[in-house]
A and B are shown apart, each in its own frame.
Chain A
Amino acid sequence: MKTKLIAVIFIITSSYFAVAQAEYAVDKGAVILSGNIGFSSSGGDLYGSKRSNIFTLTPSVSAFVSKNVFLGSALAFSYQSQGTENATSVQVGPHFGYAGGTATSTSFPFFIVGIRYLAERFNYNDYFSIRSSSRYGYSGIIGVGAVLTVSNHLGMTFEGDFNFVHLTRKNVSANGNIISLNIGLCGLLYKGPKK
C-alpha cells in the first residue's frame, strides 16, 4: 500500500515538472489528470445497527512522452466495511495510447491500451468466526474516446472501454468481460504557447 501511495505522489510531482515544456494539451510534456477520492459513512436505524463505510480512490494520470503519444497509470482502490465484515479491491497498472490533435484543436480523439493487476479480499462472519476469501488476477483494457476542451485547462472525457478480466481463487480461475462507457471531467495541464 505504501509503495502504491509513493508511486502516485511520484507521478503527480513529476507531472508538475513536465508540464512546464508543453505548449498545448497533447504536446510533449502535457499531462491529463482525472480521478476522484471519496469516503462515505452511513448510519442511523435506516442503515442497520452498525455504520456502513465506503472509501474509494481512483486517480489516473497520462503524460505525453512525445507529441500525441502518452504513457500513464491508473489506480482504483475501494474499501467497504460494516461491523467486522469488509471488502477490499485494488486495480493498478500502466497504460499507453495515442491522442490526435494539434495546438488549435478543441477535441482530441484517442485510443488507449492498458493492463491492470487485480486483487480482492473479503472478510465475513459465519456463525462461529470471521472468514477470509481472496482472489487475484489481471485485466487487459482496450479503449477509444475523445477529450473535448470545455476551456483552456478543462476537458470533458468520453471513453468506451472493453476489459478482459481473469481472476483466480484457490487455484480455480474464471474469465469475464466488462464493457463500460464513461463521461467525466479532466484537467489538461500544459504551460501554453511561447510568447
Chain B
Amino acid sequence: MKITINLVLLFVALSNLAMAQAEYAVDRAAVQITGSFGLITKGGKLYEEHGKRYSGLALSPSINCLLTRNFFFGGSIQYSSHTSDENNRSTISIGPHLGVISGNAGSNLFPYLSGGLSYHRDNISQLRGDDDTNIIHGTDITFSAGAVYAIAKHCGFNIGIQYSIVKLRENGNDLPVGDVLSFNIGITGLLFKGADKNTGTQ
C-alpha cells in the first residue's frame, strides 16, 4: 500500500515537471491523467453482520506521458480492498502501457490505441475460523482503443474499450485463462503548458 502511494506521488511529480514544455494535448511532454479514490464504510442493521461494519477501498490512478508527439508511455494501478465480517479481499493490478494517440494543436478529438502488461495479485484472508490466507497472482495483458474528446482546454471525456487476457496462478498451479472486455467513459485531465506566444503556435 505504501509503495502504491509513493508511485502515485511520483507520477504526479513527474507529470508537473514534464508538462511544462507541451503546447497542446498530444504534444511531446503533455500528460493525461485519470482515476479516482474511494473509501466507504457501511453500518447499521441494514449492512452489519455480527455487529461488524463492511468497509471498502478503491484506488485507480492512470497516467500517460507523451514521449514524442502522438506516442505515449504510461502506467496504471487498480487497487481494491473489501473487509466484511468473514473475510478480507484485496486485489492489485499494476503495470505499464504504451500507445499511439492522433491529433494536433487544432484537434478536439484524439483517438488512441494502446497495449500494456500488468502484474495482478489477489489476497483473500479468512477472518473467522482457520485464519487462512489465499494468494492468487499472475499477469493481465491488455489492449485498448478509444478516443479522448476535449470538452474544455484541459478537460476531456475518455471513451474507451479494453480487452484483457488474465493468466493467474494459485499455490504454484496454473488457473484457467480468463478474459475481460470492458467499455468505459470518464473524465480525463489534459495537462500541457499551452501555446508558445513567441512562435504563434496554437
Contacts and interface: CB of A to CB of B under 8 A. Distances in A.
Are A and B co-members of a single complex? yes
Interface of A: 33-47, 150-154, 165, 167, 174-189
Interface residues of B, number: 40
Given A42-B180, A174-B46, 20 more contacts: A36-B187, A37-B184, A39-B184, A40-B182, A42-B178, A46-B176, A46-B178, A152-B153, A153-B153, A154-B152, A167-B46, A176-B43, A177-B43, A178-B41, A180-B38, A182-B37, A186-B187, A187-B152, A187-B187, A188-B155
A175 B180 contact: no
Contact of B154 (A37, A38, A41, A153): A153
Contact of B155 (A36, A179, A187): A187
Contact of B152 (A37, A165, A189): A189
A47 B41 CA distance: 27
B144 interface: no
Interface in B145-169: 151-155, 166, 168
26 contacts: A35-B187, A36-B185, A36-B186, A37-B184, A38-B183, A40-B182, A41-B182, A43-B179, A44-B178, A45-B177, A46-B177, A150-B33, A151-B155, A152-B152, A165-B44, A175-B46, A176-B47, A180-B40, A182-B37, A183-B37, A184-B35, A184-B38, A184-B187, A185-B35, A185-B186, A187-B187
Question: DSSP class of B's interface residues: helix, strand, loop or mixed?
Answer: strand
Given A46-B176, A154-B189, A179 B41 contact: yes
Nearest to B176: A45
A175 B36 contact: no
Contact of B176 (A41, A44, A167, A182): A44
Nearest to B136: A46
B185 A37 contact: yes
A1 B46 CA distance: 26
Contacts of A34: 187
B180 A40 contact: yes
Among A33, A44, A152, the most chain B Cβ lie within 10 Å of the Cβ of A44
B39 A41 contact: no
Interface of B: 33-48, 151-155, 166, 168, 175-191
Among A35, A45, A46, A184, the most chain B Cβ lie within 10 Å of the Cβ of A46
A147 to B, nearest CB: 12
Contacts of B155: 151, 153-154, 185, 187-188
A35 B176 CA distance: 34
Contacts of A33: 187
Contacts of A151: 153-155, 189-191
Contacts of B47: 176, 178
Contacts of A40: 180-183
A177 B47 CA distance: 8
Contacts of B41: 178-180
Contacts of A45: 176-178
Contact of B151 (A36, A181, A187): A187
A41 B95 CA distance: 21
A33 B43 CA distance: 29
B190 A154 contact: yes
The 9 closest A-B pairs by CB, nearest first: A46-B178, A176-B46, A45-B176, A153-B152, A176-B44, A151-B154, A44-B178, A183-B37, A184-B36
